[in-house]
A and B are shown apart, each in its own frame.
Chain A
Amino acid sequence: MEFPMIEVKDLQTSFRTDNGEIPVVDSVSFHIEPGEVLGIVGESGCGKSVTSLSIMGLVPTNTGKVQGKIQFKGENLATASEARMRKIRGNEIAMIFQEPMTSLNPLFTIGEQLTESLRIHRKWNKKQARARAIEMMKLVGLGRAEALMDEYPHQLSGGMRQRVMIAMAMICEPELLIADEPTTTLDVTIQAQILELMKKLNRETNTAIMMITHDLGVVAEMCQRMVVMYAGKIVEEGDVSTVFQSPKHPYTVGLIQSVPDMREKKERLYSIPGQVPKPGSQKLGCQFAPRCTHAMDRCLSEAPPLQPFNNGQKVRCWLYGDRKGADIYDSAISSS
């Protein structure tokens, strides 16, 4: 049997605060196959970004603690040394951050920043690295690449900077690309360009992508499988088509229904009552129970496990604890 490229198992990332140790990512497990695009969806504070920082070994060690297994090609990254991580970061696993405005160093030229990883990881000389950087910039659709090499980040627009970020992440041909909200701060027409580019790179270089986003439209367009997170836990997992067509967890259902549809005007938007809980504020039961319209007594006292369905879908909800619950839920959904 072939191993997945990366397998995260029982990842637990917590931060020390004045109120004790607060788990932000709570026993999260998932895997990504080579060449696959996995979407991680959730609202602010659900732990999706901290999950990616944990994989990259970028959680600050003085306040944060990462437990569990992050198995990357047979190697556990959670226990890897900093020297080893430095070899992996930017080389085998690369990351694109959300803000193209702040994630480039304003004091170095685009060329210096683009070639850095080649010079360090591959020990290429300046000339080789420059040629490769120019080639990469053309690949991501940056015209006049030669001139841009000597320019500084402030001279570029947001869309151009994000292209530079992508070029930088892809330059060492990583096997896994972690994209944390790569298009959130961009305008839609620029977003369309960037998504198209990422799809092309995924097709042509077979790079696996972990796409972290809050935008369900982006997930539907880019990903094969998706994971929905809520308050540090995975609440639902499955193929994108399965999850969109028959979402099981009440949170996923609510999330999909809350998005205004551009094709059709609804009289009134569905809205999930209440608000996202602060990490660590609720100890017992299902984290979503206080906002859930289907919550039962059991939900408030006992945390549900992530249960598999036949079609590969997994759901963390007591409604599916037994068949009886599922019947109740089905009728509740159809009547609402």
Chain B
Amino acid sequence: METGKGQTFMTQPLVQVENLKMHFPIKGGLLGKTVGSVKAVDGISFSIKKGETLGLVGESGCGKSTTGRMILRLLEPSDGTIYFEGKDITKLSTNEMRKTRSEMQMVFQDPFASLNPRHTIGKILEEPLIVHGVKDRRERKQRVQELLEVVGLSSYHASRYPHQFSGGQRQRIGIARALAINPKLIIADEPVSALDVSIQSQVLNLLQDLQKEYGLTYLFIAHDLGVVRHISDRVGVMYLGQLVEISESEDLYRNPLHPYTQALLSAVPIPDVTYKQERVILQGDVPSPVNPPKGCPFHTRCPKAMEQCSNIRPILKELEQGHHVACHLYD
């Protein structure tokens, strides 16, 4: 049974990830043998309920984007299972997976690189419809017009090319493309980080409106903690390929339990001159995922590290209702 506060979520989660791993091999030597691996994601488990937004935060290289890509199977996981509506999708063939992808779509970070510059917006939006079998040309054209209006653009934009749009407008096109085939899940990988503040809020509001209207479920991957708090119902914090804390968003921001989450939250400059925050300044850099530290991945920078932290990897456990943390401080 789910432990979330809403009793309406008693049904199975939309996505359930169990012990997911992604180890990228490092080839080397004369014969191109595998000499090591980058442990980008190293055994994480979580679930996403229908209609909610799960935020995934962490610094560069923590594996949050890799996680998003594995759920869509744009990357083949090294280990672990992904259930989508109760069905294990890690075992599906390429063809079956392509069909399943009509239920899950992605919005990419870079609105400049993720649209084909040689296709018109109409063609870009039509493509998923063709792939997923909308045969009638007129129906497709009509759907394109609809989509443009849904994301706040006009139907005459269909004949234009990507370079004729600003960053914010391009991101709207990216969102329209993801919506084209009525998916249930949208994985948004840093969808607003390339945008200016005033445009960023427009796109965030659009995402929220669309969620309400179409009952979408989001996996929202971002490094901006303010943005993630704004949009997410629950938030997971990743560090060096592991999920160190996951909880209801309000709870996480008000009462962060993991020392890394505490440091991360305290590091964000607040645009308020009257606000004085106690800052935890972490020393050094994130260790390399090729050779992650033994035990807790954070122990090399943790201000509260104890002896056991360098030997035993802490497991994610529920400390308060719905609030899971992986830290020996709470053993």
Interface residue ranges, A against B (CB under 8 Å): 43-44, 157-160, 187-193, 195-196, 214-221, 240-241, 244-245, 254-256, 258-263, 265-266, 268-273, 275-276
| A268 touching B226, Cβ below 8 Å | no
**A residues less than 8 Å from B160 (CB atoms):** none
Number of interchain pairs (Cβ within 8 Å): 129
**B residues less than 8 Å from A190 (CB atoms):** 59, 285
Closest 9 CB pairs of A and B: A217-B269, A216-B271, A187-B59, A260-B230, A192-B267, A43-B196, A271-B201, A260-B226, A258-B201
Q: Which of A191, A195, A262, A270 has the most CB of B within 10 A?
A: A262
CB distance from A279 to the nearest CB of B (A): 13
Chain B binding surface, main DSSP class: helix
| B285 touching A159, Cβ below 8 Å | yes
Asked if B272 is at the interface (CB within 8 A of a chain A CB), the reply is: yes
* Interface-facing stretch out of B3-11, B202-210, B311-319: B202-210
Contact A269:B201 (CB < 8 A) given known A196-B281, A262-B229: yes
| A259 touching B226, Cβ below 8 Å | yes
| A262 touching B253, Cβ below 8 Å | yes
**B residues less than 8 Å from A43 (CB atoms):** 196-199
Asked if B265 is at the interface (CB within 8 A of a chain A CB), the reply is: yes
Contact A268:B197 (CB < 8 A) given known A259-B271, A262-B229: no
**B residues less than 8 Å from A217 (CB atoms):** 268-271
Asked if B30 is at the interface (CB within 8 A of a chain A CB), the reply is: no
**A residues less than 8 Å from B60 (CB atoms):** 158, 187
Sample of 11 more A-B contacts, CB < 8 Å, known A189-B281, A271-B201, A272-B201: A188-B267, A189-B264, A192-B267, A220-B270, A220-B275, A254-B198, A259-B271, A263-B275, A265-B230, A275-B169, A276-B166
| A260 touching B269, Cβ below 8 Å | no
**A residues less than 8 Å from B274 (CB atoms):** 241, 245
| B273 touching A240, Cβ below 8 Å | yes
Interface residue ranges, B against A (CB under 8 Å): 59-60, 166, 168-169, 196-202, 204-205, 208, 223-227, 229-230, 249-250, 253, 263-275, 279, 281-282, 285-286
CA distance A160 to B283 in the complex (A): 12
Contact A189:B199 (CB < 8 A) given known A220-B272, A262-B225, A265-B249: no
CB distance from A137 to the nearest CB of B (A): 15
**A residues less than 8 Å from B200 (CB atoms):** 258
CA distance A190 to B264 in the complex (A): 10
| B226 touching A262, Cβ below 8 Å | yes
| A214 touching B201, Cβ below 8 Å | no
Contact A269:B204 (CB < 8 A) given known A43-B198, A191-B267: yes
| B204 touching A189, Cβ below 8 Å | no
| A188 touching B166, Cβ below 8 Å | no
Give which listed residue, B205, B223, B269, contacts A215 with CB less than 8 A: B269
**A residues less than 8 Å from B253 (CB atoms):** 262-263
Give which listed residue, B205, B249, B272, contacts A269 with CB less than 8 A: B205
CA distance A259 to B264 in the complex (A): 18
| B197 touching A258, Cβ below 8 Å | yes
| A220 touching B201, Cβ below 8 Å | no
CB distance from B159 to the nearest CB of A (A): 20
CB distance from A295 to the nearest CB of B (A): 16
| A244 touching B272, Cβ below 8 Å | yes
Q: Which of B202, B204, B271 has the most CB of A within 10 A?
A: B271
CA distance A142 to B71 in the complex (A): 39
CB distance from B53 to the nearest CB of A (A): 12
| B269 touching A241, Cβ below 8 Å | no
Contact A265:B229 (CB < 8 A) given known A217-B269, A258-B200, A260-B204: yes
Give which listed residue, B198, B268, B271, B286, contacts A271 with CB less than 8 A: B198
Contact A262:B265 (CB < 8 A) given known A193-B281, A271-B198: yes
**A residues less than 8 Å from B168 (CB atoms):** 275
**A residues less than 8 Å from B199 (CB atoms):** 43, 275-276
CB distance from A194 to the nearest CB of B (A): 10
Give which listed residue, A189, A195, A254, contacts B269 with CB less than 8 A: A195
Give which listed residue, B197, B264, B286, contacts A255 with CB less than 8 A: B197
| A245 touching B273, Cβ below 8 Å | yes
**B residues less than 8 Å from A157 (CB atoms):** 285
CA distance A286 to B281 in the complex (A): 43
**B residues less than 8 Å from A271 (CB atoms):** 198, 201-202, 205
CB distance from A62 to the nearest CB of B (A): 25
CB distance from B244 to the nearest CB of A (A): 14
Cβ contacts A to B, 26 pairs, < 8 Å: A189-B267, A190-B285, A191-B269, A192-B281, A193-B281, A193-B282, A214-B196, A217-B269, A217-B271, A218-B269, A220-B271, A220-B275, A221-B269, A240-B273, A244-B271, A244-B272, A259-B201, A260-B204, A261-B230, A262-B226, A262-B253, A265-B229, A265-B250, A269-B201, A271-B202, A273-B202
| B59 touching A188, Cβ below 8 Å | yes
**A residues less than 8 Å from B285 (CB atoms):** 157, 159-160, 190
CA distance A275 to B199 in the complex (A): 7
CA distance A29 to B273 in the complex (A): 25
